[in-house]
A and B are shown apart, each in its own frame.
Chain A
Amino acid sequence: ETGVTQTPRHLVMGMTNKKSLKCEQHLGHNAMYWYKQSAKKPLELMFVYSLEERVENNSVPSRFSPECPNSSHLFLHLHTLQPEDSALYLCASSQERTAGETQYFGPGTRLLVL
């Protein structure tokens, strides 16, 4: 395993629900990332945190709200999602946010929005 865990692994939610995805890294890294993986599309970077501070938000709709309470944990809060938000959501971490640092990915949460 990579040292990055994600829960839940699968999630089905209605468009009016509120749910949260959780990521935890056991690697002592300082940077954490949320990606969206959709079929036949490149991985899309959503959010980047470095030392618990959000440093990048790639024009993600406000129905996605990240939270990083400490350097080991990262959450993605979901509310009033759309069916097109159905995808695999991946969390990753790296030692620093410096370019060229290896990113270690978790197994992802498979989200289905009905």
Chain B
Amino acid sequence: GENVEQHPSTLSVQEGDSAVIKCTYSDSASNYFPWYKQELGKGPQLIIDIRSNVGEKKDQRIAVTLNKTAKHFSLHITETQPEDSAVYFCAASIQSGANNLFFGTGTRLTVIP
């Protein structure tokens, strides 16, 4: 089955700086890669996703890049704000199959005011 690794496990940045979280996956058939944000006391919420037919996708301060050859994808948050503090999860799934998401272990991001 798919194995998703995520780094770093914790990340602290100054407000206004950028944050980058990286994930690798093992199954070359995976082609759907969502990113979830989980705030304290809440369930994970989708913030952005990317499919294998594109290499980069951007939504305001958030961007995701995908390198299918290397089997890794990254989340980039620019101009970080204190409300970006949360746990971020990457995931992967095979788009031709069932909707089974394989998650990374999460990155706890702290934005220091």
Q: Do A and B come from one complex?
A: yes
Give A residues with C-beta under 8 Å from B.
2, 4, 31, 40-43, 45, 48, 55-56, 90, 92, 94, 96-108
- A71 to nearest B CB, angstroms? 15
Contacts of B94 in A (CB 8 A): 99
Contacts of B89 in A (CB 8 A): 42-43
Would A105 and B34 count as touching, CB distance under 8 A?
no
Give B residues with C-beta under 8 Å from A.
4, 9, 32, 34, 36, 41-46, 49, 51, 89, 93-106
Partner of B41, one of A56, A104, A107: A107
- B92 to nearest A CB, angstroms? 11
CB-based nearest B residue for A92: B43
- A36 to nearest B CB, angstroms? 11
Partner of B93, one of A42, A48, A90, A99: A99
Contacts of A92 in B (CB 8 A): 43
16 CB < 8 A contacts A-B: A42-B102, A43-B89, A45-B100, A55-B98, A90-B44, A98-B98, A99-B32, A99-B93, A99-B99, A99-B100, A102-B34, A104-B46, A105-B44, A106-B43, A107-B41, A107-B43
